[in-house]
């Protein structure tokens, strides 16, 4: 019964999440077949900047999910609706703010990133287009987080598949049909995000008849409620900034080495993204179920679901280790036909084989902590790991090991996340 409940939430979330790296693979695959590594680099750098900007607002999804799941566990539909209103108001304000600040954000981003002139020029064009997707992207974060908190993984799956399928079709049209290069990837993203927003509002309309009589805008938007919403989300925001800083640092140091290493590491990191989005489907289930049982005060079920989630996570990790070991070369050749990049990537392939076993615990714990709204512990652990494990490891190891040192620092970062959150769980997850 518990396994069925976990899978009922996990499988649609897995399908939802898998569409994201598949889209990235399609975009990189299209760029990798254009005859120059500068297009791969441009999408990598542009995508990194938007990872920083949009993932920084990832608290909108995670905070909305955790609060909503607890309201669901308390059978408080009115508060669930109020949380949706707070999230939507924050998403609209945040999206418009990003558009208004696009020029200073662009200036800061491209002064921090050191790619070649041709790569940076294309990445700048990509940025100038994709920034206009901001309001729709953040709004969709809230919609997905709210559905997950309401224990509904099917509607986010429909939304994500629709958005990413439209994105792929538009990318193919703009790149293969119109020859637009990396700009085509950006325009496809913008159009598909607004299409997704329209679909998301339609899906929310099925809940609206029940919510309309219970949502109180005065309660939803009062100062005290917003302060509580932002108190938890502030910590998730800082935690997410640390994660994005680490991933961005990885890309930046790759770019500082050479365009070839940037292309190699970008392509190899798709293995990590593919696994992370897959196992994060169970992390999303953890958000929904941990929040539900904490909201209802059921500590016995909470402990049972945590144990079961880790069993599923470990099984998936070992399965992906085998897949990457046996088929990693084939996957790499699907991403690019550039023989130089493929040859340069071979010495680093063993890192992607290690990724699943080292990283899966962090993804499961993240979902549990989000459901518990234990944001302070998430923030503190991430700050400590970033400043005192990842950065020292990179600066000590990279001069000795080159690109292998960068990969080892990343693996230490990911492994430490799982260890720290495990050690902190008794006080921050189970003590209620």
pLDDT in tens, 301-356: 999 999 999 999 999 999 999 999 998 888 888 877 777 888 888 889 999 999 99
Write out pLDDT tens, residues 364-391.
999 999 999 899 999 999 999 999 999 9
What is the C-alpha to C-alpha distance for residues 391 and 386, in angstroms, rounded to an integer?
A: 6
pLDDT of residue 381: 96
Give 164-176 pLDDT, tens digit per residue.
889 888 988 888 7
Query: What's the whole-model pTM score?
Result: 0.83
Mean pLDDT value across residues 31-49? 66
> What is the arithmetic mean of pLDDT over 202-220?
81
- Please report the pLDDT score of residue 28 as a whole number: 66
Percent of the chain whose predicted confidence (pLDDT) is above 90:
43
User: Higher-confidence residue: 42 or 387?
Assistant: 387
Choose the most confident range, by mean pLDDT, from 22-31, 74-83, 367-376: 367-376
Give the mean pLDDT of 153-162: 91
In this prediction, residue 139 has a pLDDT band, given cuts at 50, 70 and 90, of very high
Task: Note the pLDDT of residue 41.
Answer: 67
* pLDDT value at residue 113: 66
CA distances from 376 to 168, 234, 286, 362 (A): 38, 9, 18, 16
* pLDDT for the residue numbered 141: 93
Residue 36 pLDDT > 60, yes or no?
Answer: no
What mean pLDDT, rounded, does the chain reach? Answer: 86
pLDDT tens readout for residues 232-276? 788 988 998 898 889 879 988 988 888 888 888 988 988 998 898
Residue 132 has pLDDT above 70, yes or no: yes
Report the pLDDT averaged over residues 29-55. 68
Tens of pLDDT, residue by residue over 262-311, are 888 988 988 998 898 889 889 999 999 999 999 998 999 999 999 999 99
pLDDT in tens, 50-59: 877 887 788 8
Q: Has residue 30 got a pLDDT over 70?
A: no
Mean pLDDT of 198-202: 95
In our burial notation (b when 16+ CB lie closer than 10 A, e otherwise), range 135-159 reads: bbbbbbbbbbbbbbbbbbbbbbbbb
At residue 394, the pLDDT reads 96
Instruction: Provide the percentage of residues in the chain whose pLDDT is more than 70.
Output: 92
Res 350: pLDDT: 92
């Amino acid at each position: 019964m518990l396994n069925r409940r976990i899978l009922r939430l996990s499988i649609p979330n897995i399908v939802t999440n898998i569409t994201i790296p598949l889209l990235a693979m399609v975009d990189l695959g299209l760029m990798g077949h254009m005859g120059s590594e500068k297009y791969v680099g441009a999408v990598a750098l542009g995508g990194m900047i938007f990872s920083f900007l949009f993932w920084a607002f990832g608290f909108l999804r995670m905070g909305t999910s955790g609060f909503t799941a607890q309201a669901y566990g308390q059978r408080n539909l009115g508060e669930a609706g109020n949380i949706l209103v707070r999230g939507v108001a924050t998403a609209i304000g945040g999206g418009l703010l990003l558009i208004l600040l696009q020029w200073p954000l662009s200036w800061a981003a491209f002064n921090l990133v050191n790619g070649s002139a041709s790569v940076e020029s294309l990445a700048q064009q990509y940025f100038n287009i994709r920034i206009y997707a901001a309001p729709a992207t953040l709004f969709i974060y809230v919609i997905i987080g709210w559905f997950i908190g309401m224990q509904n993984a099917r509607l986010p799956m429909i939304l994500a598949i629709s958005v990413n399928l439209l994105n792929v079709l538009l990318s193919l049209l703009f790149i293969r049909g119109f020859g637009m290069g990396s700009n085509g990837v950006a325009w496809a993203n913008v159009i598909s995000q607004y299409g997704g927003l329209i679909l998301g509002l339609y899906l929310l309309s099925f809940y609206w008849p029940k919510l309309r009589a219970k949502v109180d805008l005065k309660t939803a938007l009062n100062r005290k409620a917003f302060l509580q919403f932002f108190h938890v989300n502030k910590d998730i925001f800082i935690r997410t900034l640390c994660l994005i800083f680490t991933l961005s640092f990885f890309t930046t140091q790759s770019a500082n080495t050479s365009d070839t290493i940037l292309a190699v590491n970008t392509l190899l990191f798709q293995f990590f993204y593919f696994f992370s989005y897959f196992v994060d489907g169970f992390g999303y289930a953890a958000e929904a179920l941990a929040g539900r049982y904490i909201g209802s005060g059921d500590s016995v079920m909470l402990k049972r679901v945590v144990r079961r989630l880790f069993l599923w996570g470990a099984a998936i990790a070992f399965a992906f280790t085998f897949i990457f070991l046996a088929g990693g070369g084939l996957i790499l050749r699907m991403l690019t036909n550039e023989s130089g990049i493929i040859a340069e990537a071979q010495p680093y392939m063993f890192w992607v084989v290690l990724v699943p076993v080292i990283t899966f615990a962090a993804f499961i714990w993240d979902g549990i902590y989000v459901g518990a709204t234990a944001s302070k512990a998430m923030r503190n652990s991430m700050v400590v790991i970033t400043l005192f494990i990842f950065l020292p490891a990179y600066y000590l190891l990279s001069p000795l090991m080159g690109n292998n040192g960068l990969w080892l620092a990343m693996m230490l970062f990911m492994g430490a996340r799982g260890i720290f959150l495990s050690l902190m769980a008794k006080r921050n997850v189970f003590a209620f």
